[in-house]
Amino acid sequence: MDFSFTREHELVKQLMKQFVDNEVRPIAAEIDETERFPLETIEKMAKYGIKGMSFSSQYGGSNTDYISYVIAVEELAKACCSTACIYAVSTGLVAAMIEKFGNEQQKQKYLPGLLAGTSIGAFALTEANAGSDASAQQTVAKDMGDYYLLNGSKTFITNAGYSSVYIVMAMTDKSKGVKGISAFLVEKDMEGFSIGKIEEKCGVRASSTGELIFEDVKVPKENLLGKEGKGFNIAMAGLDGGRISIATQALGLAEGALDEAIKYVKERKQFGKPIGKNQGLQWYIAECATKIEAGRALLYKAAWLKQAGLPYGKEAAMAKFYNSELAMEVTIKALQMHGGYGYTKDYAIERMFRDAKITSIYEGTSEVQKIVISRHILDL
């Protein structure tokens, strides 16, 4: 059993650390405060080859493996969960789904832009009355012969308003339930497609989250992703990979929060000595560091299984569940170690604390992860 990174992985980690220190960390507080989508960072990611990680050079990728992608998300999340979220959805979810389920024409049309940073992707499954119950879709795509007529709306869609291509789930046959859901590639300029309300959020504020509205949108037949009626299966497969991405965001966030706490307890003095000499805070550090190592083991096992082409649904759910809860625990303790200063915007831990909560909600709540895990174990 080998837990070490390859030389390539070490180089990716080094590249990402440099990129984060130079391009991400310096603006993290500003884009959070102003809720500004960091388009310039996405463009710079493409120049560094970060957008194409885990994809073939045939489509503009950088020919690195899936573990390299996970390393990239982890390093981004240490400094800015918003940026990690934008990247993970566009690359790790949308581009990955097109690569896996798209035909060659769709891959050639959409992947080069997504991997070159000239295009951003979004995944649209959630509706106002269809959150954890994805089968309760109300958005409808009617077969009109040469095209599908799309009507409905989606909510809480990451990258809304900034994406060029949206993977949209819609009912093509309501009588079949989940077997009547299909997946479509909807482009931003299609007539009848508009962006509704953009949410004002507690955390990940630089990541745009909004509503999509479809009013008689004509979607060409060639924009059907996969086969008709297979949308639910495509969505669930995408979410399995998405859970690894969220687990990675959560782990990186916890690591970043612990780094901030360690730095603070070494510098802050009370009663004539650094507060890190107090046993109580040392215990906090030890607890957080130990649980982070456990979370890393869960995450990289899931990522290794995915990369090896082995079943990984249970492990992805475990990693997502554990690390999202871990992110909350570590950021709370790290904020506590900062005392009153941790509750101010002068320190990054305040932002990290707000960012952590969403990791236990999106891509399936912690409660949903428990259901997924138990069904795998019970073989239900």
Q: What is 273-297 written as a DSSP string?
A: EEGGGSHHHHHHHHHHHHHHHHHHH
What is the distance between the alpha carbons of residues 338 and 348, in angstroms, rounded to a whole number?
Answer: 11
Cα gap 152→142, rounded to integer Å: 11
DSSP codes of every residue in 178-217:
GGGEEEEEEETTSTTEEEEEEP--SS-TTS-EEEEEEEEE
Helix (H) or strand (E) holding 269: strand 269-270
User: Which one from 74, 75, 127, 363 is the annotated catalytic residue?
Assistant: 363
Separation CA 259–CA 332 (nearest Å): 13
What is the spatial distance between Cα 220 and Cα 189, in angstroms, rounded to a whole number?
Answer: 13
Query: Between the CA of residue 19 and those of 23, 173, 309, what are the distances in Å?
Result: 6, 47, 30
User: What are the C-alpha distances in Å from 196 to residues 38, 118, 179, 209?
Assistant: 20, 23, 28, 10
Annotated active-site residue 267? The verdict is no
- The helix (H) or strand (E) run that includes residue 166 is strand 165-171
Active site residues: 363
